[in-house]
């Protein structure tokens, strides 16, 4: 955006008074050149003054043009970046299709014995009946469910989940490991990975934006992202499972010591 001073110079350059002065200066030069006007100190001073003024204003105009060109270049660069972002957004939309919770539940109901569902959840909702029914059916079929949960925020939800499954006579209950962290409240989505028994099928992944309504949405991850997430999940799962075992052993030993001491 041109500076106010540049705008002033531009107005001067287009002013009729300045243009008239330029015309008079040119006329004086022409008169001297053809001999109709004798050179003198006064005439030379007038010509020099007009010439200096013209050069200053022309230089100011050049600076203004350069500033406008710079501003236009920045605008063009910003527009190119915006187009690049829109193009990438379009590509992401194509590679990460969005599906409804209803479609998500239907996909989960198609799992078979030996398949695994790996769930990293910031919240554990069991109120969406189609998905809960699919989980019950899958557990009875022999589908393994593994959860990574946040202990402080989700232990009560997990215990309720297990009670509901037992009421449905589910024998093969899901497994869970708990992370002692308070970051769950900062996370707005959960992730589920389908790891198939068939080695010829690559894992499928879903980022669950909401889990309480049929019109809530899930984003299907790309095959590469799903595989990377599956591998990362299993590394964290093994690490947390080992630490949970150590914690359980310490708790059991502490209880045994207290009983011995009481005796």
Contact call for residues 123 and 184 (beta carbons, < 8 A): yes
Q: What is the DSSP letter of 184?
A: G
Show the CA angle centred on residue 219, arms to residues 204 and 224, nearest 5°: 40
Task: Check whether 253 has a pLDDT greater than 50.
Answer: no
Count CA within 13 A, CB hemisphere, residue 217: 7
Higher local confidence (pLDDT), 193 or 89:
193
Q: How many CA atoms lie within 13 A of 30 on its CB side?
A: 6
Q: Show the tokens assigned to 212.
A: 């309480």
**Strand order, beta sheet including 217-220:** 98-100, 217-220, 204-208, 190-195, 116-120, 144-150, 175-179
Kindly report, residue by residue over 143-193, the tens digit of the pLDDT: 999 999 887 777 888 999 999 999 999 999 999 998 876 665 556 678 999
pLDDT digits (tens, 9 = 90+) for 59-73: 666 777 777 777 777
> Which of residues 35 and 153 earns the better pLDDT score?
153
More confident position, 40 or 113: 113
pLDDT in tens, 94-138: 666 788 888 888 999 999 999 999 998 877 777 788 889 999 999
Average pLDDT over residues 213-242: 84
| pTM for this predicted structure | 0.59
Residue 259: its H or E element? helix 223-262
Higher pLDDT: 251 or 179? It is 179
User: How far apart (Å, rounded) are the C-alpha atoms in residues 1 and 245?
Assistant: 66
pLDDT of 34: 62
Which pLDDT band holds residue 86 (cuts at 50, 70, 90)? confident
């Amino acid at each position: 955006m041109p500076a106010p001073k540049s705008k002033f110079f531009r107005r001067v350059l287009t002013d009729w008074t300045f243009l008239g002065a330029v015309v008079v200066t040119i006329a004086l030069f022409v008169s001297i050149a053809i001999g109709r006007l004798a050179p003198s100190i006064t005439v030379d001073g007038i010509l020099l003054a007009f010439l200096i003024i013209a050069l200053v204003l022309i230089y100011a105009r050049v600076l203004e043009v350069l500033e406008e060109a710079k501003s236009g270049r920045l605008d063009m660069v910003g527009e190119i970046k915006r187009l690049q972002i829109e193009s990438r957004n379009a590509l992401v939309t194509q590679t990460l299709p969005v599906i409804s919770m209803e479609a998500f539940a239907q996909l989960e109901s198609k799992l078979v014995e030996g398949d695994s569902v790996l769930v990293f959840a910031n919240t554990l909702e069991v109120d969406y009946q189609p998905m809960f029914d699919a989980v019950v059916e899958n557990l009875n079929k022999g589908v393994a469910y593994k959860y990574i949960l946040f202990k402080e925020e989700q232990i009560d939800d997990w215990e309720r989940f297990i009670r509901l499954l037992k009421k449905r006579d589910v024998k093969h209950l899901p497994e869970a490991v708990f992370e002692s962290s308070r970051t769950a409240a900062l996370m707005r989505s959960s992730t589920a990975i389908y790891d198939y028994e068939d080695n010829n099928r690559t894992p499928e992944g879903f980022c669950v934006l909401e889990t309480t309504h049929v019109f809530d949405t899930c984003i299907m991850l790309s095959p590469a992202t799903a595989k990377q997430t599956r591998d990362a999940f299993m590394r964290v799962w093994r690490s947390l499972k080992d630490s949970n075992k150590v914690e359980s052993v310490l708790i059991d030993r502490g209880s045994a010591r207290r009983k011995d001491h009481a005796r």
